[in-house]
Structure 1
Amino acid sequence: MTTAEPRSYPFSLPERLDVEPMFANLRANEPLSRVRLPYGEPGWLATRYEDVKVVLGDPRFSRAASLQHDEPRMRPQPSQSGGILSMDPPDHSRLRRLVTKAFTVRRIEQLRPRVREIADGLVDAMLDQGPPADLVEAFALPVPVTVICELLGVPYEDRVDFRHWSDAFLSTTKFTPEEVVDCTGRMHAYLEGLIAQRRAEPRDDLLSGLVAARDNEDRLSEEELVMLAMALLVAGHETTASQIPNFVYTLLTHPEQLAVLRADLSLVPKAVEELMRFVPLGLGAGIARYATEDIELGGVLVRAGEAVLPALASANRDERVFADPDELDLRRQDTSHIGFGHGVHHCLGAPLARMELQVALDTLLRRLPGLRFADGEAGIDWKEGLSTRGPERMMLTWDH
């Protein structure tokens, strides 16, 4: 049975990286429940792994339909129209194909030595300065920001501006709606300027390739070009910059698992997958999908035109799929998490994020012996008012 009156969601304020306690109860007793987010119409919350995969992967659930609805969401402003995240195939497939080549596993592996060089350079600076150091500013932000700047073709010296704009892009309450509109407009104008530069002087970067696809092959509109560049710039650094300190925090608060990893750094790739499963990155649920016809899901008939929100953090803790799901186990064999999503909107940059996270963990553990909190929880400031979770400051020390 489902409750008639939608519950307010999120059910509780997030504590650090804790998973919502209510999820386990819902998975057992009410896998699809009615919820109301701070903005938009009510929707269904899917909490079981298999149901979440259906919502993300079944073409009967549409993202494009959200543009015709007041979709349930965490922030006042609705999703950007014209963006790849608001599209279904074939338009989504058309845009995704334009950038897929830049993010193949083979292409990303060719970048690994450069990412290792960036990470080592940042640790060199940390060692030169001596402890303590803020992991976020000294390492976690510069690694993915440098990489996406080089890949996309964005000047690294502009990072302070686009970091600020990115925060506005992901704001739930940190920025006012007017500030979000202003920052989005500034980022839009900034990328229009870079696109104009690439038209005049093409380079060997992803932005130049997208401009060529627009001008020479007419494969996307001008607005689609700007919005795609914006999505790549924000997504290309924000999630990894949050997950590096999230992963370090999780390891430092699970010392027995950290000891396992320190003893055998060849486990780093497996550790990244387990940490992707274990750590809840997003605040709330995934973006809503709309049923295009009546569909039975989780024992409930979802009517055509109703929204369903996939709770990825709950799916990744589903006891039907993962043994001891609330235990961090870096030797876990089943790594079929959906931390990068699933279906047509599966994270385009997943190979890049995986590689960056592997390099980051390996570099930090290899080069900073005895890495630990400099001042316990007092040295950590957690993000507030953003749709991604994680520290905005994390003071660490090490043996020297």
Structure 2
Amino acid sequence: MTATIVSAGYLSARNAISAAVLRLLREGRLATASERLGATVEEVLRLQSGQTGEPFPRFAQTDVELAGTRIRAGDLVLVRLEAAHLDPRHFPDPDAFVPERTSSPSLVFGHGAHYCLGAPLARLEVAAVIGAPARQLPGLCLAGPAESVEWVRDGVDAGPKALHVTW
């Protein structure tokens, strides 16, 4: 269990951090990221979730009807977190990166019994890494076009293979 938490935490945090820095640099928002750091971290994580397209398998606990489809207790359900994160009823203009967003909390780290044990550490890591360059390297910028950044996608997570910057 410990090995799983450490390895999953490392990969997810690494990808979230590099994707966050890429997004903030691409959108010219790194310098202001520390002003609303908590909200910026949540927005970055919301948009980063679901990058691999892998659904989370769960089993229905009770009978329910969802969008006209009957799901019985015990049925396998494949949950797509990014669908919740892109719901315009909870996130107006859901595809846009809006660090000032104050809408619904995301499900990035799951919920209930499946809530990620490493969520507080992951938030802390992302905040530390995107907050420091904003304060200490105000001239930080991408060394090339954002479109040229290669992404690594595996069955669990996705993130930039490398992020070349200058300052």
User: TM-score, normalised on structure 1?
Assistant: 0.39
Match of 1:363 in 2: 132
Equivalent residue of 1:288, what SS? Answer: strand
Pairing of 1:43-62 with structure 2 (within 5 A): none
Distance in 2 of aligned mates of 1:282 and 1:382: 10
Letter in 2 for 1:235: A
- Are 1:316 and 2:89 counterparts? no
The aligned residue for residue 164 of structure 2 is: 395
Q: Name the structure, 1 or 2, with higher relative contact order (CA <8 Å, separation 6+).
A: 2
Task: Give the equivalent residue in structure 1 for 2:52.
Answer: 283
1:219-368 alignment runs, 5 A limit: 228-255=1-28, 258=29, 262-263=31-32, 265-368=34-137
Give 1 or 2: higher strand fraction: 2
The one-character-per-residue Cα deviations of 1:266-304 (angstroms, maximum 9, x if unpaired) are 311111011122223541243211225532223310134
Work out the percentage of aligned pairs sharing the same amino acid.
34
The residue number in structure 2 matching 1:188 is: none
Provide the secondary structure at the position in 2 that maps to 1:319: coil
2: distance between equivalents of 1:372 and 1:282?
24
User: Matched residues in 2 for 1:290 and 1:365: separation?
Assistant: 43
In structure 1, distance between residues paired with 2:114 and 2:61: 17
Are the counterparts in 1 of residues 52 and 157 from structure 2 also a CA contact under 8 Å? Answer: yes
1:287/1:310 contact within 8 Å kept: yes
> How many pairs are equivalent?
167
CA distance in 2, matches of 1:335, 1:275: 14
Aligned Cα root-mean-square deviation (Å): 2.0
Write the deviation string for residues 181-214 of structure 1: whole angstroms up to 9, x where unpaired.
xxxxxxxxxxxxxxxxxxxxxxxxxxxxxxxxxx
Q: Which runs of 5+ in 2 are unaligned?
A: none
Rg: which structure is higher? 1
Q: Distance in 2 between matches of 1:237 and 1:264?
A: 23
Structure whose residues are more often helix by fraction: 1
2:161 aligns to what SS in structure 1?
strand
Structure 1: segments with no counterpart, 5+ residues: 1-227
Please list the CA deviations of residues 232-276 of structure 1 after superposition, one character each: whole Å capped at 9, or x if unmatched: 221221110110111111112222xx0xx5246231111101112
Secondary structure of the corresponding residue to residue 394 of structure 1: coil
- Residue type of the alignment partner of 2:95: D
Change in Cα spacing, 1:321 to 1:378, as seen in structure 2 (3 Å) is closer
Shift in CA distance, 386/372, structure 1 to aligned 2, threshold 3 Å: farther
